[in-house]
Structure 1
Amino acid sequence: MELKTVSQCTLEEVLIAWNKGFEGYFVRIDMDEEMFLNRLVGEGLSPKLSIVAFDGNTPVGIVLNGVRHLNGRKTSWNGGTGVSPDYRGKGVSRALMDETLAIYARENVEIATLEAINENSKAIVLYEKYGYEITNHLLFLSGEFEAHVKEPLQLQVKTIRPEQLSSFAFYNEDVPWQCSWHSNKQGEASVFYNQKNEAIGYMLYRRVWNNEGQLESIRCYQLELLEKGNVEDIPHFLTSLTNKKVHITTVNFLASNPVTNYLLENGLEVTTEQVQMKKEMD
């Protein structure tokens, strides 16, 4: 078996490795060329730090990796480890993990992160053998939401660029990789203030519009209440985007986030459960 970086492979080889690697996976994540390249760029994944395993000329496994500075620490993310069905249980995953951690060491990564589907116990056990620990339980939610606001709230909304979130002292950078503003530069962000001009919450999201120019759905990456905010403020946050019924999807929301519980009580359902795992590098 030979390991190459994604930058040393053809796009066709990488796509074969990815699509075969996740064949029969818990969530369908097949990608074509455009989808793959958009993900690579949008999520800050590095062709030089990502690897493909070959058996002869056949791509049989893949790991996509990215590195960023978050909270002042050099942080890596494993954006997907896949092995072709015929090669599972034959040591390919271990070879990919060995090389991935060697890459992190060469890049002076301080903390390594990844997410794994709850039901994927074999992968979780493998990551634990390499020193990863479960730090959070994450939920994807989806459903129709219609805010029922009894009376208007004197709410001030400041709409900003996603990258501007990092300039606020209250902003928490310690979120799953795909929920970071770095991964959502094409999205939108809002900060909410009360009458005393105190920040009470913020939101990072993308709105999807149909061909008629009507709002079709909202994809939420962060929806956070601050110390001065409370659960009753959440519908007001959402009605600042639309006062009509809308389909909402959340990405990797913390199960412990009070916003998550509110959304579950108001029409959304869990579609996918994941664990966030982290490893302190030596």
Structure 2
Amino acid sequence: MYTFKRLNELTFNESLQIWNEGFKGYFVDVSMTLDAFIARIVKENLSISKSIVAYDGNKPVGILLNGIQEINGVKTAWNGGTAVVPEYRGKGVGRFLVETSEAINREEGVEVATLEAIRENTPAIELYQKMGYEVADSLLWMSHEDSLAFEEADPSFSYEKGNAHDILSLDIYDQNIKPWQTQWFNIKDAELLTISDSAADKNVGYFLYRRVLDNSGVQIGTVLYQGMAVQDRSDQKQIILAGLKKVFHPHDAKMKRIIVNIPLKNKVLVDALKELGFSVSTEQVFMMKRIGS
């Protein structure tokens, strides 16, 4: 019989040790230093009082990080990482962690629980499906580190830059629940680019992104989190390409460009990125479960 403690009952060093042990042999290296672990909890709005560690007697055997946020009026939880120490895998620890986390989420009035899993992690995906989670979409991490070739943008488009929270006031804002790491409130120093059709005097697309600067303030990269064009337009691709040209530095071959968790259903954007030479580095599944009302 497993028991649990919340992360606020442990030191950060103890929590980190369980995290790194639990992710040994994982598909990608997600081990962290203490500074990186604390920074991630803060940056991604994770809750140490809602995150848990599983125990077998006095031995810590697994960890689950959890965040809760109201998104467009829906109280939403995110599983920010579930890991089980190698010798306890396949022994019910993962299920215990998820079920315990769901109980905490219900106490908090959460309506929807979300998570991502690496596409190749079949055992984890199957476990989540058995527990009622459904695959809502596939998510792509993409990257490009060379110069980009764009055609001239449609001169009828106009552009306006703003802060991340301005996205909430956009009349075309897609209010569907998105991957946690792409939500505006989790992206420090994010910027918003809005594209408008000057002739029709209406917004037709937007991009949420962050510029990466070195210690001297010189931009060395760009990270894109959201990008869309309204679906009732025949020129969706032109809108997307116009936005990408504004967001990225097309002719700078030294600029690193990263795309975070773009939904595969956003086909116009995905196809445009692939045509520009972006390569897929990681594919995940985005899973959701309604756990309350």
TM-score, scaled relative to structure 2: 0.90
Structure 2 distance, partners of 1:189, 1:15, is: 34
Aligned 1:1-282 pairs, distance under 5 A: 1-144=2-145, 145-150=147-152, 153-173=155-175, 174-196=177-199, 197-211=201-215, 213-227=217-231, 228=233, 230-241=236-247, 242-245=249-252, 246-257=255-266, 258-282=268-292
Assess if the C-alpha contact under 8 Å between 1:15 and 1:31 holds in 2.
yes
Aligned CA distance change for structure 1 residues 195 and 19 (closer, same or farther; 3 Å): same
Letter in structure 2 aligned against 1:147: A
Instruction: Assess if the C-alpha contact under 8 Å between 2:12 and 2:38 holds in 1.
Output: no
- Runs of 5+ unmatched residues, structure 1: none
Cα drift, residue 152 of structure 1: 6.1
Give the aligned length: 282
**What amino acid is the match of 1:21?**
G
Residue 78 of structure 1, CA deviation? 0.6
Stretches of structure 2 lacking an aligned partner (at least 5 in a row): none
CA distance in structure 2 between the partners assigned to 1:36 and 1:166 by the alignment: 29
Aligned residue type for 2:162: I
How far, CA to CA, are the matches of 1:151 and 1:33 in structure 2?
45
Kept in 1: contact 2:171–2:203 (CA 8 A): no
- Aligned equivalents of 1:36, 1:50: Cα separation in 2: 13
**Alignment partner of 2:259: what SS?**
strand
Instruction: Indicate if the aligned counterparts of 1:14 and 1:59 stay in contact, CA closer than 8 A.
Output: no
- CA distance in 2: counterparts of 1:23 and 1:278, whole angstroms: 26
Are the equivalent residues in 1 in contact too, given 2:179–2:261 (CA < 8 A)? yes
Deviations along 1:59-102, one digit per CA (max 9) or x if unpaired, are 32100111111132111111110011121112211211121111
In the alignment, the residues of structure 2 paired with residue 214 and residue 154 of structure 1 have an alpha-carbon distance, to the nearest angstrom, of 31
Task: Name the CA distance, whole Å, in 1 between partners of 2:59 and 2:156.
Answer: 61
Give every structure 1 segment of 4 or more consecutive aligned residues whose post-TM-superposition deviation is greater than 3 Å: 55-58, 210-214
Q: Residues of 2 paired with 1:240 and 1:150: CA distance?
A: 11
Q: Percent of aligned pairs with the same residue?
A: 40
**Is the 8 Å Cα contact of residues 172 and 204 (structure 2) preserved in structure 1?**
no
Cα-Cα RMSD: 1.8
Deviation at 1:243, TM superposition (A): 4.2
TM-score of the two chains, using structure 1 as the length reference: 0.93
**CA distance in 1: counterparts of 2:217 and 2:43, whole angstroms:** 24
